[in-house]
Amino acid sequence: MDDPFRTIEWKGDHIRLLDQTLLPGDEVYLRISRVDDLCDAIRRLAVRGAPAIGVAAAMGIALGMLDVPDADKRDFQRRLEEVCRQIGSTRPTAVNLFWAIDRMKEVVKAFPEADVADLRDKLVRQAVLMEQEDRDLCRKIARCGKDLLGDGETVLTHCNAGGLATAGYGTALGVIRAAWEGGKRISVIADETRPLNQGARITSWELMKLGIPVTLIPDNTAGALMQRGEIHKVIVGADRIASNGDAANKIGTYSVAVLARHHGIPFYVAAPLSTIDMSLADGRSIPIEERDPHEVTHIGTVQIAPAGVKVRNIAFDVTPHELISGIVTEMGIASDPFEESFRIFFDKKEQEGKS
Ligand code: MRU
């Protein structure tokens, strides 16, 4: 089954994206024609989730180069650097953003003789290709991971790693979808995912649209359900994975992983290879975004904490690799020692690219 929505789409002279801040109440598509507006959409999570942010970055770069005058190659280079810098400053944790920027820059580097019109065209084609690739990758991840889930099992997920966090189909939710579409009776427990409630607003909306049974819980209920034997597996996405397998994901993921280990429940991560940052030895050097205290003191426009209270609003945490039973990628399922698996997968992918 295809996604019942389109997360992000290139429309020739603008980007069309589903404004995720308005879900589940309103299904509103934004028409983005300026890089400033795209950066704003990424910052305020109108488009969110590591792979979707990567695609948005690539499309944003293509968009930013559309109106550079044909005659001016130097201006093109200057503008490219400026647009990449601007998009690169939106959110620090999801490595897919920086991976996408590098891939777009490589297109320009690969054709030093090309003129501005040609480069513009190549950047657009690359961005569109990256959107298609991401959808294909999600299907591959899903195929690799679907047998991890058994018939009749209940699977807990945190935040949203579905079609809305990617160009389509999803990573962690993709694995669940593939198992479900293969005839397994899976039900999902969705953590609400405070403070921005991606689980409540987005994951439960997405799963209900797909007809997959979902039960929403407050974040602090996961332990009690595990203790009662009501959760069989956990699967989440990731924003950046270090070479040793330490995985950054939405705040609260680490607590779920600790609980899962305590209860002997397998804990899986699903992510494309573009989320793996082999330049980092471990999760300690993953940059972690801290966001506006207002997101904690308010729900929407309603204030739920005293004015002026001190707040920590850390957007992501790092789950140490020891707590991860397997990392599902498009090239297979990595297990400890993760670095070895990752190297094999990257090599295999490179070979596939050459053939
Ligand atoms: O702040 P968000 O909503 O962008 O955070 C998203 C997550 O943490 C997702 O779980 C992660 O990006 C994996 S998405 C396939």
Per-residue pLDDT of 167-176, as tens digits, reads: 999 999 999 9
Q: Does residue 51 fall inside a structural domain?
A: yes
* Structure confidence by residue, pLDDT tens digits, 305-319: 999 999 999 999 999
Please report the pLDDT score of residue 72 as a whole number.
81
Both 102 and 182 in one domain: the answer is no
Both 198 and 101 in one domain: the answer is no
- Name the residue of 194, 198, 269 whose CB sits within 8 Å of the most ligand 1 atoms, as the mutation to test its pocket: 198
Q: Does residue 316 fall inside a structural domain?
A: yes
* pTM for the whole structure: 0.97
Both 169 and 289 in one domain: the answer is yes
Q: Which sign, positive or negative, has the C-alpha torsion 241, 244, 245, 251? A: negative
* Catalytic annotation present for 3: no
Q: Does residue 1 fall inside a structural domain?
A: no
* Structure confidence by residue, pLDDT tens digits, 230-244: 999 999 999 999 999
Both 72 and 157 in one domain: the answer is no
Report in angstroms the alpha-carbon separations of 194 from 36, 80, 253, 299. 28, 36, 11, 10
Boundaries of domain holding 55? 8-139
d(CA 139, CA 143): 6
Q: What is the mean pLDDT of residues 20-43?
A: 98
- Ligand 1 atom closest to residue 170's alpha carbon, by position in its atom list: 15
How big is the chain, counted in residues? 355
Q: Does residue 2 fall inside a structural domain?
A: no
What residues does ligand 1 touch, defined as CB less than 6 Å away?
Answer: 45, 48-51, 94, 159, 161, 165-166, 171, 198, 237-239, 249-250, 315
Q: Does residue 55 fall inside a structural domain?
A: yes
Q: Does residue 3 fall inside a structural domain?
A: no
d(CA 204, CA 213): 9
Banded pLDDT at 211 (limits 50, 70, 90)? very high
In 186-331, where do the E strands start and end? 187-191, 214-217, 233-236, 240-242, 247-250, 267-270, 276-277, 298-299, 302-303, 316-319, 326-329
Q: Which of 134, 191, 239, 317 is catalytic?
A: 239
Q: What percent of the chain has pLDDT over 70?
A: 100
The domain that holds 13 is classified in CATH as 1.20.120.420
Both 240 and 325 in one domain: the answer is yes
